[in-house]
Amino acid sequence: MRRLHVGIDDHDSPEGGCTTHFAAIAVKLLFELGAVFEDYPLLVRLNPGIPWKTRGNAAVVLRVRLPEGRVEDAVEALVQASAEYRGATRHPTSSPGMVFAVDVDPHAFQPMYKMALTDLVTPDLAYRYAEKLGVLVPREYRGARGIVGALTALGALLEDEDYTYELLAYRSPERWGSPRLVDPGSVKRMDAETRPFTFNNYDEDEDRVLITPRGLDPILVGIRGEDPRVLRRALGLLEIDEPLDAWIIYRSNQATDAHHVPRQVAELKPYRTGSVEVTVASSPRILPKGHVILRVTDDTGTIDAAFYEPTRTLPRVARKLVPGDRIRISGVVKPASSARGVTFNVEKLEIIELSETYRLVNPRCPRCGARMTSAGKGKGFKCRKCGYRDPHARKERIPISRDISRGIYVAAPSAMGHLTKPLERYGKEKTDPPTPPQHSWWFWYR
């Protein structure tokens, strides 16, 4: 038996198609060729700040064992299937990629994965890395931008780091582009019955279902959670009034904060992700649409931090911050759009320490208790009620109560990024890889 690692990326487009949907087709083909899966298919989210991503910047990795003579058959079948799929979903912005690594230690790809998760990887660098490690890049994908995601995702082993699962169910082709027939009430009931083992099923504040996409892609529902068996049960709790074409359970780095690597302000370059501990250096600047800009600083530099209104929670908290507050912000660097330089788009905010704030008031008269008034510049204060004067009196500082507290704040569920960890996942982090999936209970194809 030989080990085959397959990386797939950018098989989606604004007008249809989906990388995970094509991966489900690839899983079916591999089963038919006698493949034994070493792990669940991996849904790998990469840097969300990359501007030329199609949607969620996701790649897929399949790790299997195949009989000696079937590896070439598998490669040929997958390349052919990809060509047929791309022919049906071709779009100018789509640049599909697929790579194959045979009997290669996937740990060798980890540095590239970490870079693609948190920084910018150029196609030239990806191709050089592929050549160095003996990765097969079929001629059909030469020059494709999707090679970057397909190659770098091979380093996502998720063996000593947190991970989650997502069950993706796909629609019959004749339903693509039509309204999704999933009863919203059943989503709420499913959520109530399966939490805390599922998350981000719907946004209570907006009364908005979150498991159904709104685009032209083939996905009917995507249910995220901690346990693959709970996800399979959750699908059965939904009331769906259209036929399913397939469903598959992925293991994923979604909802783990994997891209929030510790950095300093001086390290924040365009398209980089990170997490920095800083001090608020200015009062909040409120933009017309409700966005909030804060100037923040550490020992290495100063940068503008942006808290956008669609996240709801973040700008409301940012409005209440004052100079001197210590915070940790996590997110992605946006390229410079003004003379002020780059901007850090905040996905998560942690208040570490709140500075004390005061209001100044005139002192009270020690004789009668009334508030005194100024006796003139440099002359102290006088009491109009009883005539008492004190040339040395100074204004009193009265502490102001802050109506925010230390803690972690994230975007509303409907505005949360794929990689950002929801508050309800804290304490549920997993660091041990799962038992390899047995047979095909995690996958169904009509």
Q: How far is CA 127 from CA 112, 141, 271, 350, in A?
A: 11, 11, 21, 39
Please choose, from the candidates 444, 18, 24, the residue with its C-alpha nearest in 3D space to the C-alpha of residue 219. 18
- The CATH number that domain 265-354+406-417 falls under is 2.40.50.1010
Q: How far is CA 91 from CA 15, 54, 85, 307, in A?
A: 7, 11, 12, 33
d(CA 315, CA 240): 37
Model pLDDT for residues 313-323, shown as the tens digit of each residue: 999 999 999 99
Whole-model pTM?
0.91
d(CA 182, CA 320): 40
How many degrees, rounded to 5, is the angle at CA 247 between CA 16 and CA 52?
A: 35
CB 114 within 8 A of CB 156: no
pLDDT at residue 135, rounded to an integer: 94
Q: 294 is written with which tokens?
A: 């804060």
The helix (H) or strand (E) run that includes residue 187 is helix 184-194
- For the chain, residues with pLDDT lower than 70 are 13-15, 53-55, 87-94, 337-340
Which residue is associated with the tokens 């009509």? 446
Q: 205 is written with which tokens?
A: 């504040």
d(CA 378, CA 372): 15
- Judged on CB neighbours under 10 Å (0-12, 13-18, 19+), 103 is exposed
pLDDT at residue 54, rounded to an integer: 62
Please choose, from the candidates 103, 87, 17, the residue with its C-alpha nearest in 3D space to the C-alpha of residue 55. 17
Model pLDDT for residues 27-43, shown as the tens digit of each residue: 999 999 999 999 999 99
CB 408 within 8 A of CB 350: yes
List residues bridging with 344 in a β-sheet.
Answer: 305, 333
The verdict on domain 2-157 having CATH code 3.30.70.2200 is: yes
The domain ranges of the chain are 2-157, 265-354+406-417, 359-400
The helix (H) or strand (E) run that includes residue 165 is strand 164-171
